[in-house]
């Protein structure tokens, strides 16, 4: 159930246009939060239920360790995807600006220093980079869902 809810949230992120009301982004984020909450709780309970009671602490802590390492690695990978997408779009554009301008754009203290004529195209470039991250994330949720279905089918045999 949790992965299905995550998939719904991921699909919303993939199809969401660049300009959306804050409340809609809040709703999508809430859907993702519920999906992650169910998924994380389920994996923790599964890890605990597959071992003897005296090894439950080890199983729980190992589950948390692996999840934390996975999150750390994926944040790095998503950062590479975001930056690669943004820099490719920036180079392909005719804006003739330094890549550091993207750092200015995402910083609320320096975004107002960017000329108004550049804001819309730079936001489009940022959106394209984020969209790449959302596409990869949605793909990973699909893979996880398929693996989960396959594992359940194997256990049923």
From CA 152, how far away is CA 157, in angstroms rounded? Answer: 9
58: Cβ–Cβ under 8 A, 6 or more apart, which residues?
Answer: 51
| 87: helix, strand or coil | helix
Q: How far apart are CA 32 and CA 40, in angstroms?
A: 12
Assess whether pLDDT exceeds 90 at residue 156.
no
Instruction: Render pLDDT for 40-74 as a digit per residue (tens, 0 to 9).
Output: 999 999 999 999 999 999 999 999 999 999 999 99
Q: Could you tell me the pTM of the whole model? A: 0.87
114 — pLDDT class (breaks 50, 70, 90): very high
Please give the Cα distance from 18 to 31 (Å, whole number). 19
**Burial of 143 from C-beta contacts in 10 A (0-12 / 13-18 / 19+):** exposed
Q: How confident is the model at residue 99 (pLDDT cuts 50, 70, 90)?
A: confident
For 120-147, write each residue's pLDDT tens digit.
Answer: 999 999 999 999 999 999 999 999 999 9
Q: How confident is the model at residue 77 (pLDDT cuts 50, 70, 90)?
A: very high
Check: CB of residue 2 under 8 Å from CB of residue 37.
Answer: yes
Flag whether pLDDT at 150 surpasses 90.
Answer: yes
CA 47 to chain CA mean position, Å = 24
Contact 11, 134 (CB under 8 A): no
């Amino acid at each position: 159930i949790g992965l299905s809810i995550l998939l719904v949230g991921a699909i919303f992120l993939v199809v969401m246009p660049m300009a959306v009301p804050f409340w809609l982004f809040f709703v999508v984020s809430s859907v993702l939060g519920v999906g992650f909450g169910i998924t994380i709780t389920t994996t923790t309970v599964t890890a605990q239920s597959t071992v003897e009671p005296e090894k439950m602490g080890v199983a729980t802590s190992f589950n948390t360790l692996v999840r934390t390492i996975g999150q750390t690695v994926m944040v790095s990978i998503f950062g590479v995807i975001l930056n690669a997408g943004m820099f490719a779009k920036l180079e392909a554009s005719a804006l003739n600006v330094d890549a550091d301008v993207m750092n200015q754009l995402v910083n609320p203290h320096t975004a107002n220093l960017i000329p108004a004529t550049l804001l819309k195209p730079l936001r489009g470039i940022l959106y394209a980079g984020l969209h790449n991250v959302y596409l990869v994330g949605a793909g990973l949720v699909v893979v996880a869902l398929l693996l989960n279905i396959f594992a359940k089918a194997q256990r049923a045999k």
